[in-house]
Amino acid sequence: MAHFLSIIFDAEEVYNSAGENFSISDEKFFIVGDTWIAIMKGEPLSERSYNHIAFKVSDSEFDEYVSRVKQLGLEVKPGRDRVNGESQSIYFYDYDNHLFELHTGTLQDRLLRYSKKQ
C-alpha cells in the first residue's frame, strides 16, 4: 500500500510505527496534498464491491494518473455510464481489494449537472 500511495498519489510517508504500535497493528501515515491518510496492517477484504473512495484530479493530469495506475498493473474496473456533462473517472482496485476512483470533476459540477433534467 505504501508503494501504491507513493506511485499514484506522490504520497509522503511521515510516520511508520515499525512495530512500536500505539494502535491495534502496524501503521503508517502519509500526506497526499493536504490530506492525511493512515494505513494499518491487516487482512485484505475478502470480496470486492463498489464502495470506494474518490480523489479529485485535474483534467490536465488525468492521463498521467491513468498511466501510474497501469504502471502498477492494477485491475481497472470498467467505469459506469456517465450522463452528458459529467467529468472523466477511472476506477481501480488496490492490492487488498479496496476500490479507488480518480475523478476530474468537482462536487459542485456534479450537483449542478444532477440538478438539471436529462
Entry field: residues in the chain = 118
How far is residue 14's CA from residue 88's CA, in Å, rounded to a whole number? 31
Q: Is 20 a catalytic residue?
A: no
Catalytic residue chosen out of the listed positions 12, 13, 20, 27: 27
**Which residue, 81, 22, 88, 83, is CA-closest to 55?**
88
Q: Which residues are catalytic?
A: 27
